[in-house]
Amino acid sequence: MADDRFHVYDTTLRDGAQQEGLNLTVADKLTVARHLDGLGVGFIEGGWPGANPKDTEFFRRARTELDLKHAQLAAFGATRRAGVKAADDPLVAALRESGAPVVTLVAKSHDRHVELALRTTLTENLAMIRDTVSHLRAEGQRVFLDAEHFFDGYKSNPAYALEVVRTAAEAGADVIALCDTNGGMLPDELGDVVLAAAGTQARLGIHCHDDTGCAVANTLAAVRAGVTHVQGCANGYGERSGNANLFTVVANLQLKRGFDLVPRESLADMTRIAHAITEVTNVTPNSHQPYVGVSAFAHKAGLHASAIKVDPNLYQHIDPAEVGNDMRMLVSDMAGRASVELKGRELGYTLSSQESRELVERVKVLESQGYTFEAADASFELLLRDTVGGDRRRHFSVESWRVIVEHPAGGDVVSEATVKLHAKGERIVATGEGNGPVNALDKAVRQALERLYPELARLELTDFKVRILEGTHGTQAITRVLITSSDDTGEWSTVGVDENIIEASWQALEQAVTYGLLRAGHEGE
């Protein structure tokens, strides 16, 4: 477990998930949590159990499916409702029952928000804080408190804002995180308010939004003023302009201020982790992101080029290797290396050095075409099997497939797929109908193979992600499709890439079925 003296607290799965267009399944959230744990953050806020069924399920599945090495899970929720006991409030019960060792309670610290939004008295708000914190503490959970709208509240009524901090600390909250909920603060002013709050003697944290472009700077100003708990989100995700980018905060504190926050080797994996998370969120990575962006250490050829050759440090603020980045690096190249070294071992294959080299080469070529193996573990394993065993044995071979999309006047759009396959010495022609082309193809493949492989009935496509990748050097844009499938024992993901979205989907689908059959114990022929 991470050192308790300084907290790195991630809220990607709760606050970051508020970002427009970002939609995470429970499985996605579990995967992101594993990546964050790999980075070595101390706390992962998983969501709001009780208020959101998906988040309740996340905490339930986390108990058996997450094996965290560094991080502890935190459940987020509100103080009890006005006029009831914390022990009787069903939402407080959901926090208690989440199984999370830490609960982060959000509480109002702005007098006008208490009166106008919460519609209760300032005194009752303090009672709600006191009662909820002490109740959860008595039930054995560690409690942090997010003081919502703290900085605006301090401007409106400083005595009350500080009273909220004091009340929470006295009731047993270990950390009071001061939140710049509207994100409007600037670093100098924010630092002054944190210093004033430090007078309460409570342990303080900071939670910043980036509406002034200062979320990271504000977080650093708060640390300088004495907070020992920083909150933020992977890649700066969050609503509006986003939250403080936790990766930038960690790199700044560790590399520029000498804090010992995450293991050195994890920091050196930060660029890979940042990109792996974008594969899950399906948000295009920001190439200019500090430290981890593809362009973060890339120089334009010309003026600097010769000097860089002499001494690269003249033109970069840190050695990019410290965060796993490179002066001139293709993400694919990096991902390839990491995938092959780590995943091969993880999957239990021993590769000869010749096979390793060959696999790295294949991954590099495929990733330069737009494939990604970070998020497509099953595709990687199939590729690995191909490399180790010559061409992997096939359960079926495809003669052809075809999809027709029809929109009859006044009716619904329907798709019809025909597949022609060879399996176990038979030629099979089958059709399937669906609401979309991929759905129709999926049905046709099952129709063709289920008689020979009844296990396919348990296979389910659970997620389908599409990303359009920009073409390079005048080529057309290409489409990458990631399909997640499941059976009754687990999940796996496969990838396909093509200029044509249906071909890309077909590739991912064909591998999904093949991998499903391997899992069911069919080695192919």
45 binds Zn ion (CB under 5 A): no
Choose the binding region for Zn ion from 14-22, 54-62, 296-304, 408-416 (rule: CB under 5 A). Answer: 14-22
Beta carbon nearer to Zn ion, 212 or 511: 212
SS (H, E, C) 299-348: CCCCCCHHHHHHCHHHHCCCCHHHHCCCCCCCHHHHHHHHHHHHHHHHCC
SS (H, E, C) 184-205: CCCHHHHHHHHHHHHCCCCCEE
Beta carbon nearer to Zn ion, 15 or 269: 15
Query: CB 208 → Zn ion: shortest distance, Å?
Result: 8
Query: CB 32 → Zn ion: shortest distance, Å?
Result: 17
8 beta partners: 230
Beta carbon nearer to Zn ion, 218 or 484: 218
CB hemisphere CA count around 199 (13 angstroms): 10
What tokens does 434 get?
């669906």
Q: How far apart are CA 325 and CA 319, in angstroms?
A: 9
Query: CB 234 → Zn ion: shortest distance, Å?
Result: 14
Residue 188: φ, ψ to 5°: -65, -45
Query: CB 371 → Zn ion: shortest distance, Å?
Result: 35
Q: Are 520 and 512 in contact, with CB atoms under 8 Å apart?
A: no
Beta carbon nearer to Zn ion, 32 or 106: 106
Q: Which candidate, 219, 227, 337, 237, places its Cα nearest to that of 286? A: 237
Q: Which residue is nearest to Zn ion, using beta carbons? A: 15
Q: What's the helix, strand, coil split of the chain in %, to 5?
A: 45, 20, 35
3-class DSSP assignment, residue 346? helix
The gap between the terminal CA atoms of the chain, to the nearest Å, is 47
Beta carbon nearer to Zn ion, 55 or 367: 55
Query: CB 332 → Zn ion: shortest distance, Å?
Result: 34
Q: Are 384 and 427 in contact, with CB atoms under 8 Å apart?
A: no
What tokens does 471 get?
């073409």
Beta carbon nearer to Zn ion, 14 or 135: 14
Query: CB 248 → Zn ion: shortest distance, Å?
Result: 17
Binding-site member from 7, 10, 13, 15 for Zn ion (CB under 5 A): 15
Choose the binding region for Zn ion from 10-18, 189-197, 327-335, 436-444 (rule: CB under 5 A). Answer: 10-18
Beta carbon nearer to Zn ion, 15 or 163: 15
Choose the binding region for Zn ion from 7-15, 117-125, 213-221, 368-376 (rule: CB under 5 A). Answer: 7-15
Choose the binding region for Zn ion from 13-21, 169-177, 342-350, 391-399 (rule: CB under 5 A). Answer: 13-21
The number of residues that bind Zn ion (CB under 5 A) is 1
Positions that interact with Zn ion (CB under 5 A): 15
